[in-house]
Amino acid sequence: MFNFIEKLTRNKIYLVAFVIIILIGAFLRSYHFSDWLHFEMDQSRDAKIISFVVENGIDNLPLLGPRAGGTFLRLGPIFYYMEYASALVFGNTPSGMAVFNLILGIAAIPIFYFFCLRYFRKKIALSLTLLFSVSLFMVLHSRFAWNPNPLMFFSILTFYALLRTVDREEKRKGLWLALSVLALTVSTQLHFLAFVSYPIIFLIFLLIKRPKITWKFWIISTIIVLFLYTPFIINEIKTKGANYEEFIEAVSWKSSKSKRTFPEKILRAYEEISVGNFLILSGSENNNFYQIKKVNLPEIKAGCPSNCRKAILWGIFPLFLFFASLILFFKSLISEKDHKRKDFLILGLFWFGLVYLVLLSLAFDISPRFFLLAVPAPFIFLGIVLDFLDKKIKYGKWVWILLILFLTISNLKYTKERFWQLENTPRESFKPTSDRILKEKNRVTLEQQLMIIDYVKEIYQKNKYPVYINSDAYYRRSFLYHLEQIKIPRDDFRDVKIYEKGNYFLIYPTLSNFDKDIEKYNVDYNLIEKKQFGTLLVLRLIPKPESIQAIIQEFNEEKNISTGINVPKRYTWEELFSEETAGDNVNEEDL
């Protein structure tokens, strides 16, 4: 009786802690979500497409999704379809389109906890979930719409459901298989490297485990894949495999991009993964870590920045932590007897191992978003270290508790700093010291952009002249999108005629050196006003009389979404079922 009461009380404590952890994560992800939204090039490109679909009908949805970075290869369209659904429910606005990503970012927290329970005891699983909940990396990637971001939910769901699929004691293997395939199919449409690596991991693990599942669930799973890839397949048929050709070219380009030696790639990848994992665990974005400078075997040159020399132990800690976690991971993999825990480690070996091999080939071009492909890895490796400390080291329990507290406080500290910057972006001018997560050179928020648009709108309403904007490339599309949404005639005034009736604006980071950019405009324009909006400065220009080439520009109504010039065709459903394409186009490709 007393054992039952003790167990019930303990479970209630875990449940309360679990709920609190989710609430903390939800708060960090949703706090001032709309005002502080990250809305740059990719976001405005996608928003333009979705807004057009919302305003003109669902049949304008494209059959393919965003382009894979640096190529003309297109992913599947599932991300656009999720954005469209989000816009219908939460509003045809940048923040409305991003709410689905917020929801998935919060939902990833409990899914991660259940994933951890496949191997770890509750107390370690909860500790890792707390870190996952407050991780600055996870928080920021939950706060805006971008096609790689939902991977934090769908990747974990894919492989959690896969573990349930191969579990000998699981009674509903078929349903878990269908769910795993559903999440896998979505994941492969969110990132090029997921498209390449995830099916390989999935199939290898299934071939090794060979779960006994009735044939109807294999058929259901196949139907799920075909259904979700139907738009992709149709577009390939219509274009005679144009996107497949881009896939082959993208694989060749990415694999041949680096001319570094194999030892250089190994050491650089180890360094990047170690520091990247520690960034995810701690929120620390500084660059003061021990770095491998040059590899010319048998000689290896390494060192660290001056700040690192002042705290050498801190500088090498990420490298040591990753090394220790790898050793303990393989030790556990060899010695583990429990079949559930063994399956967890085997899956981790294939999942994290294959992703890290992919990163090895890109060792000198690793982007922070690539870590979303193996998003649980830093936490799982840390958990294995914590498990070892708890079981094998005297007072190890207190060591891992202190480590979790340290990493939690570290993340909250850096999150507080980031939130202060986002809050003060429209009012104060400052330069971020480092940004290893989103790679932002300047903080710019949606609230700040809309303040600038209000200023531009006020001037437009006085004369009704079209608006011409040029700005930093990261935000040029965003400002043009905002103007389009409030039906103000607008254009990018690079390489266009100079019109007498026009409102001309330059928008640059306040602390940037834009004198050279201004000089080229001084030939044809006079500067009549400067207005600062925190980290951004707006310069209002008027054309010099002798430079005017025309009176006013005529704008045509945009009626369709085009693919762009010299790019494989991307059809919409409307184009697919109509005999001829509508007349005028919204050209989003070069946005």
Q: Tell me which amino acid residue 147 is.
A: N
The verdict on 540 and 395 lying in the same domain is: no
Q: Does residue 467 contact residue 490 with C-beta atoms inside 8 Å?
A: yes
pLDDT in tens, 172-217: 999 999 999 999 999 999 999 999 999 999 999 999 999 999 999 9
The verdict on 412 and 454 lying in the same domain is: no
The verdict on 403 and 264 lying in the same domain is: yes
pLDDT in tens, 1-42: 345 445 546 688 899 999 999 999 999 999 999 999 999 999
The verdict on 423 and 462 lying in the same domain is: no
The verdict on 520 and 533 lying in the same domain is: yes
Distance CA 100, CA 113 (A): 21
SS3 at position 299? strand
The verdict on 498 and 549 lying in the same domain is: yes
Stretch among 76-90, 149-163, 288-302 having the lowest mean pLDDT: 288-302
The verdict on 394 and 277 lying in the same domain is: yes
Q: Which residues contact 375 (CB under 8 A, 6 or more apart)?
A: 138, 151, 152, 155, 156, 280
Distance CA 367, CA 476 (A): 23
The verdict on 379 and 501 lying in the same domain is: no
Domain boundary among 420, 443, 466: 443
What is the count of structural domains for the chain? 2
Q: Does residue 67 contact residue 74 with C-beta atoms inside 8 Å?
A: yes
The verdict on 378 and 477 lying in the same domain is: no
Its domain, for residue 363, covers: 260-443
The verdict on 475 and 549 lying in the same domain is: yes
Give the pLDDT mean for 400-429: 96
Mean pLDDT of the chain: 89
The verdict on 372 and 491 lying in the same domain is: no
Give the pLDDT mean for 279-302: 68
Domain boundary among 418, 443, 468: 443
The verdict on 385 and 336 lying in the same domain is: yes
Of these ranges, 33-37, 240-244, 358-362, the one predicted with the greatest mean pLDDT is 33-37
Domain boundary among 443, 463, 493: 443
Q: Full-prediction pTM beyond 0.75?
A: yes
Give the domain CATH number at 530: 3.40.190
* Whole-number pLDDT of residue 88: 98
pLDDT in tens, 322-359: 999 999 999 999 999 999 999 999 999 999 999 999 99
Q: Does residue 265 contact residue 363 with C-beta atoms inside 8 Å?
A: yes
